[in-house]
Structure 1
Amino acid sequence: MVLTEPGAVRAEPVVPSVPPGPTRRRRPWRNQRSEALWAYLLIAPTGLGLAVFYLWPVLQTAYFSFSEWGPFGGHEWIGLDNYRTLVRDPEALRALGNTTLYTALGLAGIPVAIVFAALLNRRRLRAVSVYRMLFFLPMVTMPVAVAMVWRWLYNGEYGLVNHVLSVVGIDGPHWIAEPATALYALAAVGIWTTLGYNLVIFLAGMQSIPREYYEAASIDGAGPLVQFRRITLPLLSPSIFFVSVLSVIGSLQLFDLVYVIGGSGQSARNNPAYPRIQTVVALFYEKAFSSNDRGYAAAIVMGLLLLIVALTAVQFRLQRRWVHYG
């Protein structure tokens, strides 16, 4: 109502209400589809590179492992003959044994890296970044250069290792030329090469552990060794698992040290210790590029791939049990 004059009332016109029209529904699937399209476009270059340079060679090698190659190219399908030869070949079994022993020796470098990381994690230690750089330096050095330096160090006549031993009255052996010491000498080089990388991983894991745990343990009377055993090692288990997986995979693929230090071709045949340091990858190289037996070489590398997958799966299974029962 609207009042116009005293006592007069004018009725206001009533506007008919209009029912609301249909609301425009949003379509979230369009946004999701657009985001998924952009995601696929962004990962397409990396995915294409992985497919061309990794997935396709693996599939091609798997196919070639069931074939026999001629001396001038061309191949013929022979089924499982290469794999039957592989499980009966004494040279392949010896190379597998050498690779397994080298892998086990490489795992011994993990406790060494943990100890050095614990020493570098001390608060009062100065110039920690300098020590990190010195330890990590072999990791960024070319493997061939590292192998050539250690080949000179291990020389039985004028090598620096034997010279240092002679100072204290020890007559050092020909490290690479003697079957009893050749594989252990290579394992020492492998541990030295990967020590810096493992140390950085463990040091990062130790620095992520809250200091309150150690302070509470100190109040309860726990010493440094007890704290290391009861606090550091359990909380460092994810880093230990990560390093152990990478160490096993890297050790099973050992080739560069064997090729440079142990020799290849005629020099390898003249080395009496070469059968003790021949690895699976070194055997694959000889069969593929020296003997031109590419089908059998493909079977060797596919067997190595299956071994790596199996050992990695076992490690993941053991890690789950460790976390569950720990």
Structure 2
Amino acid sequence: MSATAPTRARRGHDGWWPLLFVLPTMFGVVLFYLWPIVQTGYFSFTEWGAFGGQTWVGTENYRRLADEPDLGTAVVNTLVYTAIVLLGIPIAMFVASLLSRPGLRFSGFYRVLYFMPYVAMPTAVAMVWRLIYNGDFGILNWALALVGIDGPAWTSTPGFALVAVSIVGLWTSLGFAIIILSAGLKTIPPELYEASSLDGATAWRQFRSVTVPLLTPSVFFVSVITVINGFQLFDLLYALMGQGNPAIQQTQSLVYLFYNEAFLRNDKGFAAAIAMVILLIVGAVTLLQFRMQKRWVTYA
């Protein structure tokens, strides 16, 4: 009895040690993530004065938001941008498959080249692409002029500005998707390729029947991150187009609409309501992705 009692006591006390290690992380999550959400939710029911101070207005900000004409435009623009950026996933899957071929030299160097735009500052990326998109001396319009096409002012024409921004977003996100999908490819057993080769499967058949199904968990992860990042579009849009751009009103995203209301019009209560709408949309879309992944994601 005397030998087992201390052992049970030690086991009981050991249950608290993991909490001590988790507490700093949980404190950071509560302080920097959960509390700002609660605070923003409270601010969305208030009206701010020009020099600070809040007045409780109930659901007035949400009623105003339902009548806001720019909200629908911002939602559509954000969805279009996210959809175009998602097109980079099949491209990244193809590139990752090429970089994972046995015997390919300098494959690590190629992955670094693809990954560099993802870690670069969005402002620096935007400055480079502003030169490319320039309507007067940009290299894109120069290349189009060689084949007799008169290119538009890409970032200041409403019909082209959102597509131009989305292409840059696709380009910058490609490296992240390639790295994740390359890691996923390494988890596929090579015996499956050998067995399918013995059965007479071509390289395309192996890619379609072996690579793609077993890579779906990585594709699912990349798609969730891409959608979340797509709904956070702001810095690239702001740096690429500029504040005085005539097309910014038709190209603004949800986060840009929040910025415009919070910091330009100084209507922080209304902006907080926009932030809560963004949170609800992102949460709903992410939940839908997790529900739908049961139908197409294959876990080996």
Q: Same fold (TM over 0.5)?
A: yes
Report what 1:252 is aligned to. Answer: 231
Report what 2:43 is aligned to. Answer: 64
User: Displacement, 1:147?
Assistant: 1.1
Report what 1:132 is aligned to. Answer: 111
Over 3 Å counting, the alpha-carbon distance change for 1:75 and 1:316 in structure 2 is: same
Over residues 260-314 of structure 1, what are the superposed CA-to-partner deviations in whole Å (9 max), with x where a residue is unaligned? 11212xx1xxx22212320000000010011010000000010000000100000
Residue 163 (structure 2) pairs with residue 184 (structure 1): yes
- State the superposition RMSD in angstroms: 1.7
Over 3 Å counting, the alpha-carbon distance change for 1:90 and 1:28 in structure 2 is: farther
Report if the CA contact (8 A) 1:153-1:160 is conserved. Answer: yes
Over residues 185-233 of structure 1, what are the superposed CA-to-partner deviations in whole Å (9 max), with x where a residue is unaligned? 1110001001011001111111211111111111111101111111101
Residue 299 (structure 2) pairs with residue 320 (structure 1): no
**Paired amino acid for 1:248:** V
User: Displacement, 1:88?
Assistant: 1.8
Residue 214 (structure 2) pairs with residue 240 (structure 1): no
Report what 2:260 is aligned to. Answer: 286
Report what 2:274 is aligned to. Answer: 300
Q: 1:127-166 to 2 correspondence within 5 Å?
A: 127-166=106-145
- For residue 69 of structure 2, the aligned residue among 73, 87, 90 is 90
2: distance between equivalents of 1:223 and 1:324? 22
Report what 2:16 is aligned to. Answer: 37
Report what 1:276 is aligned to. Answer: 250
Report what 1:46 is aligned to. Answer: 25
Q: Give 5+ residue unaligned stretches, structure 1.
A: 1-21
- For residue 81 of structure 2, the aligned residue among 64, 81, 102 is 102
Over 3 Å counting, the alpha-carbon distance change for 1:25 and 1:126 in structure 2 is: closer
Report if the CA contact (8 A) 1:83-1:299 is conserved. Answer: yes
Over 3 Å counting, the alpha-carbon distance change for 1:224 and 1:113 in structure 2 is: same
Q: Percent identity?
A: 50
Report if the CA contact (8 A) 2:47-2:55 is conserved. Answer: yes
- For residue 169 of structure 1, the aligned residue among 128, 148, 151 is 148
**Paired amino acid for 2:105:** R
Greater Cα radius of gyration, structure 1 or 2: 1
2: distance between equivalents of 1:153 and 1:325? 42
SS at match of 1:26: helix
User: Displacement, 1:133?
Assistant: 0.6
* TM-score of the two chains, using structure 2 as the length reference: 0.95
2: distance between equivalents of 1:324 and 1:243? 15
Q: Give 5+ residue unaligned stretches, structure 2.
A: none
Report if the CA contact (8 A) 2:216-2:298 is conserved. Answer: no
**Paired amino acid for 1:128:** S
Aligned length: 300
2: distance between equivalents of 1:323 and 1:126? 32
1: distance between equivalents of 2:94 and 2:102? 15
User: Displacement, 1:47?
Assistant: 1.9
Higher normalized helix content (fraction of residues): 2
Residue 242 (structure 2) pairs with residue 263 (structure 1): yes
Residue 117 (structure 2) pairs with residue 117 (structure 1): no
SS at match of 1:95: helix
Report what 1:10 is aligned to. Answer: none
2: distance between equivalents of 1:33 and 1:166? 76
Residue 194 (structure 2) pairs with residue 215 (structure 1): yes
Over 3 Å counting, the alpha-carbon distance change for 1:114 and 1:74 in structure 2 is: same
